[in-house]
Amino acid sequence: MNRRRTLIAALATVVVLAAAIPVSARERPSRDRVEHYVTGSSSDAVTNPNFGLMLAGGGPDVDEAFVEFLSLADGGDVVVIRATGADGYNDYLFELAPVDSVETLVIPDRRSAESPVVAEVLGGAELIFIAGGDQWDYVSQWSGTQVVEIIDEKVAAGVPLGGTSAGLAVLGEFLFSAKKGTVYSDEVLANPYNRYVHLDRDLVSVPMLEGVITDSHFTERDRMGRLVGFMARIIEDGWAPHAFGIGIDEATAVLVDGGGSATVIGDGSAFFLSLQHAGEIVEPRTPLTVSGTTGYRISESSGSFDLDTWSGV
Q: Which of the residues are catalytic?
A: 165, 187, 217
Closest CA to 307 of 249, 264, 252, 251: 264
> What is the rounded distance in angstroms from the CA atom of residue 267 to the CA atom of residue 301?
9
Lay out the sheet containing 311-312: strands in order across: 35-40, 101-106, 77-82, 127-130, 161-164, 53-56, 252-256, 261-266, 305-306, 311-312
Q: Which residues contact 249 (CB under 8 A, 6 or more apart)?
A: 57, 217, 218, 219, 220, 266, 267, 268, 269, 270
Cβ 272 vs Cβ 216: under 8 Å: no
> What is the rounded distance in angstroms from the CA atom of residue 215 to the CA atom of residue 292?
20
